[in-house]
Amino acid sequence: MAFSVVMPALEMAQETGKLIAWRKQEGDRVTKGEPLLEVETDKAVLEVEAPADGILAGITAQAGADIPVGQTIAWIVAPGEKPPTESESATTAPAARGKTESHAAPVAAAKAEPSSVQGARISPKARRLAKELGVEIATVRGSGPGGEILASDVQAAAAPGAAGAKQSGSIEIPSTLGRLMAERTTQSWTTVPHFFVTREIDASALNEYREKLVAEIERTHNIRITHTDLLVALAARVLLKHPRLNSSWTAEGIRLHDHVNMGVAIAVNDGVVAAVIPNAHVATLAEIATQRRDVAERARAGKLRPADIADATFTISNLGMYHVDQFSAIITPPQAAILAVGSIANRVVAVDGKPVVRPIITLTLSCDHRAADGARAAMFLNDLAEAIYDPGERLA
């Protein structure tokens, strides 16, 4: 049986994906689970795995193409088998895709078709981009099939000197990730009722515990433990006691998660991605550090996999390495909270009525007020502070 290779969807809001490169060529033998192609989605550049064993055939999309989610772009067939024709695939594809789409989120078929505006066919992504950049669709010439207006056409129309009076300065066209960040932060900030709770915590015990473990874990696992790793482990365990902070706001109500998939914000060339460490509440420090390192390397190399960025229930964003004292982060819906971590800096504080110097870390918790109130946020930070005061007990 032939298996269809489709443009995957990671979430319902995704409309199209850009094919970056094929990792295999027409006629190559492929193995189920190995990287087959690279796709740029609204989240990041991802590696898509082969859905079956066989021969890659019938490739219909080339690098650089923007493709609606769910559209078949190639087939994996048995040796000697020919890929289905267009008419055959209309009847055979649903059965084949049923096996393939288990690797991706559900696909909304209605979103795959380009829309028509004033007689011009335009892809959903191009329509959204035109609105963001203030481009009149009627003035754009489409370069897609049948004159369809693509996102690249809108970008070209918005480029300096494309039309109208020349203005000073320059315009930087954001990448897919940059546009996504703009959209999501705007949506979150304007629709989610944020509030913030800040706590300064003595990090002496955290520093001592890290120094105690660094050499041992580096020797046994060839990985260096960071403060982010420690905070991921501690926060994940504390979150089990505070389900409202580890929840999602939905149309049905507040969904409480019984596991902690910890998102970790990672800076890349053109923005930030939140890579996910699944089941962080039961993972060891070495496991957390290894996963965090591996996913960070894939993110910076543009080789993220769909599972790397899916299903986070809570996020940590650490800017301490950039010498930021404290900051407030914007929540990633539908998550209920995000923890912003500042640098650890020596400060003069009062201990038993006397001034002493202590390494202080500042944590700011951003919360969705629909899911959690100030008291719940304060109790979470209090329990996290207690864990930071004695990390060995919580991570033993």
In order, the DSSP letters of 229-270 are: HHHHHHHHHHHTT-GGGGEEE-SSSEEE-SS--EEEEEEETT
In order, the DSSP letters of 38-95 are: EEE-SS-EEEEE-SSSEEEE-----TT-EEETT-EEEEEE-TTPPPPPHHHHHHHHHH
> Which of 323, 373, 383, 390 is flagged as catalytic?
373
In order, the DSSP letters of 292-355 are: HHHHHHHHHTT-B-GGGGS--SEEEEE-GGGT-----PPP-TTBSEEEEEEEEEEEEEEETTEE
Phi/psi of residue 154, nearest 5 degrees: -65, -40
> Which of 227, 258, 352, 369 is flagged as catalytic?
369
List of residues 6+ apart from 245 with CB closer than 8 A: 239, 314, 336, 337, 365, 367, 371, 372, 376, 377, 380
Reply yes or no on whether 373 is catalytic: yes
Reply yes or no on whether 369 is catalytic: yes
Compute the C-alpha angle 94/98/103, nearest 5°.
135
Cα–Cα distance measured from residue 271 to residue 184, given in angstroms and rounded to the nearest whole number? 12
Supply the angle between the helices 227-239 and 374-389 in degrees, to the nearest 10: 130
Task: Note whether 367 and 245 are within 8 A (CB).
Answer: yes
The strand order across the sheet containing 314-318 reads: 194-202, 354-368, 337-351, 314-318, 262-268, 271-277
Please give the C-alpha separations between residue 385 and each of 35, 388, 389, in angstroms, as whole numbers: 42, 5, 6
Pairing of strands 35-40, 45-49: antiparallel
Phi/psi of residue 220, nearest 5 degrees: -85, -30
Closest CA to 70 of 114, 108, 39: 108
Q: Which helix (H) or strand (E) holds 5?
A: strand 3-6
Cα–Cα distance measured from residue 289 to residue 126, given in angstroms and rounded to the nearest whole number? 39
**Catalytic residue list:** 369, 373
